[in-house]
Copies of this chain bind each other. A is one copy, B any other.
Amino acid sequence: MAAKEIKHVPEPVLRRLPRYLQILTRLKEEGLKEVSSTRIANELHLDSTQVRKDIEFTGIIGKPKTGFLVPQLIHAIESFLNWDNVTDAFLVGAGSLGTAILGYPGFNNYGINIIAAFDSNPEKAGGTIRNIPIFHIDKLPDLSNRMHVHIGIITVPAASANEVAAKMIDGGIKAIWNFAPVQLRVPKEIIVENVLLHASLSVLTRKLGQQIKDQK
């Protein structure tokens, strides 16, 4: 008997699931009990087959003619993304972006809980931002190891991002959410998810530039 097959989940699927969740949460509030893949697909301008295939990854089975049970589907997606057990995280870089992320109340719904922030500026250490304590960056490895923190968030300038990543890895951090526009050099077992705002802007500015050019 073969071990339970763990099917590889394509990243595009992982990126669509929270979008389904957003729709589902809204529909649940509206009192809807069941939803079809067609409905979800229409709201997001996707193909219904794609939605069904994505949902299949979560292990949920639908019913012909009616679709999927909304609460069940919500629970399945949340559990699939590991959002049902919230993981502690450290944030490094208490500048404006870091402060914004510390202040965002919603991340607990997305599976992470920021319990401390760090900065290289000694004047910031000792203070708090929205009740989250700030420490000097040098304390990170030790604190991280002692508290078994697994997620690190990098919101420092590009020039110091790799240095910060090294300290995180020292501290036993396993996954890095990186907002700095640089390629992090880390061992391959470290999970890195980049939020590259410049890459996002490039899509927007190029398309806009082309549209304006086309009109001429």
Contact = CB atoms under 8 A, between A and B. Distances in A.
Interface stretch (A30-38, A60-68, A104-112, A119-127): A104-112
Interface in A68-109: 80-83, 87, 95-97, 99-101, 103-104, 106-107
Interface in A164-215: 174-175, 177, 181-183, 189, 191, 193, 195-212
Interface of A is mostly: helix
- Total copies of this chain within the assembly: 2
A151 interface: yes
Contact of A87 (B19, B44, B104, B208): B208
Contact of A203 (B43, B104, B106, B193): B193
B181 A204 contact: no
B80 A206 contact: yes
A199 B81 CA distance: 10
24 contacts: A9-B206, A11-B203, A14-B199, A14-B203, A17-B202, A22-B181, A22-B183, A23-B183, A43-B183, A45-B183, A80-B206, A82-B206, A83-B202, A96-B100, A106-B198, A110-B197, A112-B201, A150-B208, A151-B208, A174-B211, A175-B204, A191-B208, A193-B200, A193-B204
